[in-house]
Amino acid sequence: MDVIKFWNTKTRGYEKFVPIKEGRVSMYSCGPTVYDFTHIGHMRRYIGDDVLKRTLGYFGYEVNHVMNITDVGHLSDDGDEGEDKMEKGALKYGKTVWEVAEFYTEYFEKTMKALDVLTPTHFIKATDHIDGMIAFVKHLEEKGFTYETPQAIYFDTTKFKEYGALSGQKIEDKKQAVREDVVVDKNKKHPADFVLWFKRVGRFAHHTMRWESKWGDGFPGWHIECSAMSMEYLGETIDIHTGGVDHIPVHHENEIAQSECATGHEFVHFWIHHNFLQVEGEKMSKSKGNYYTIDDIVEKGINPLALRFLFLQAHYRKAMNFTFESLKGAENAYDRLIDIFSNLKESEAKADFDYIGRFKRALGDDLDTPGVIALMWELLHDMRLDSEIKRATVLEFDKVLGLGLDKIEKDIAPKEVLDLLEKRQIARNSKNWQESDEIRHQIALLGWEVLDSKDDQKISRFRP
């Protein structure tokens, strides 16, 4: 098998990937907290995971990929002192927490689909796995790694010697966040200790999501779900765990601590982290108005896959600055790619051996997608190669890049698009323009564009 090297956050170095079980990979990705819209920062991260997964598949591994849906217990400060994100989201939109979770889970799925991100093998809700979490906490309690206060059950970080190893911070350096809205449990022993189970008391007395447990009714802390769900689906030690760099200092340290104390051995071999996305040089936030969703992209007439193309041009471990100018540039380049590709001759030709070798070496070099894209242009402009071979080779590249080239083969819309088109015709006949516009938008999310004439609608592939 060809060699893949990844940068492992844990060892702070490049390491050759060797799976625990030959030919198979167990991979866990911290998933979305479904209390608000998926934005372009999330999109970059999950496209990064998608490339990782597609690369492993391309190299012949069978990937078992688990992603959780956090629909309970994630507080706004990522620790134990903020507000509950779900309950806050529900209040804001006047819905129940369950409705909020469902709505934003669907929004996440719709976004991923528009970007051609493959669905995980198991895409699972935290609230469907509460029993497993309670059992996990009980087990930690029996082994003496927890303590109880009137408000919560905590994990005692001083009992885990390696605490802080992933982020390289010493446990003594962990200070309590000083913020006015922070609610501190005065019985918490150490600032780094974290909640495994919140009791439904004090500020959480009216918490709507609640489950019975031996510590009284309440709800799990955020961190425990990933350990419990990872172990349930993938076993006690897994090959790869992914997340954003922001997960390293708290969430992933906590996952390691509780997991390794529970089992007595290593939780994860490779920790892979995606870097931040800034927007116009600033941190994304709604108040700054630079928080963009897939609908914003489509409303500007941009094919979601042009956004994917833009993200692939930066290495996943580098911070990236998003601007609409750069997206325009990516859109032009994507358009050029589609044009060149559409003019390549179809045949039974095989991909070029030399280019495929270089393609694999770039991917095996910690997923060098900018390198792969440069290689793709080199290939397309290589005068020595026949058109047919170019086509076959670039289609191989696209198995990992996911730019939808295989769908360009025939300009025939999939059934899903044709069904929507029919629905839209009915809306148009009854002069329901709002619905007709909504359907046009849905079709755009699938990569197709509707052109209206007086009494007909025509469809063509969404071209930038």
Contact positions toward Zn ion, by CB under 5 A? 30, 226
Tokens of 122: 């198991």
- Strands (E) in 280-354, as ranges, are 320-322
Cα R_g (the chain), whole angstroms: 24
Nearer to Zn ion, 229 or 297 (CB): 229
∠ CA 385-388-389 to the nearest 5 degrees?
Answer: 50
Nearer to Zn ion, 141 or 225 (CB): 225
Shortest distance (Å) from residue 251 CB to Zn ion = 6
| Residue 147, SS3 per DSSP | strand
Shortest distance (Å) from residue 231 CB to Zn ion = 13
Burial of 281 (0-12, 13-18, 19+ CB in 10 A): exposed
Shortest distance (Å) from residue 221 CB to Zn ion = 12
Nearer to Zn ion, 199 or 223 (CB): 223
Nearer to Zn ion, 33 or 213 (CB): 33
Nearer to Zn ion, 50 or 352 (CB): 50
Shortest distance (Å) from residue 240 CB to Zn ion = 13
Shortest distance (Å) from residue 185 CB to Zn ion = 22
Question: CA-CA distance, 240 to 48, in Å (whole number)?
Answer: 14
Nearer to Zn ion, 152 or 226 (CB): 226
| Residue 47, SS3 per DSSP | helix
Tokens of 75: 């507080």
Contacts of residue 54, defined as CB under 8 A and 6 or more positions apart, other chains included, come to: 118, 399, 400, 402
Cα distances from 416 to residues 45, 305, 310, 353, 461, in angstroms, run 27, 18, 26, 36, 14
Shortest distance (Å) from residue 327 CB to Zn ion = 29
Whether 47 and 312 have beta carbons less than 8 Å apart is answered as yes
Q: Give the residue from 5, 118, 19 showing the smallest Cα distance to 362.
A: 5
Nearer to Zn ion, 54 or 247 (CB): 247
Shortest distance (Å) from residue 225 CB to Zn ion = 7
Q: Which amino acid is at 113?
A: K
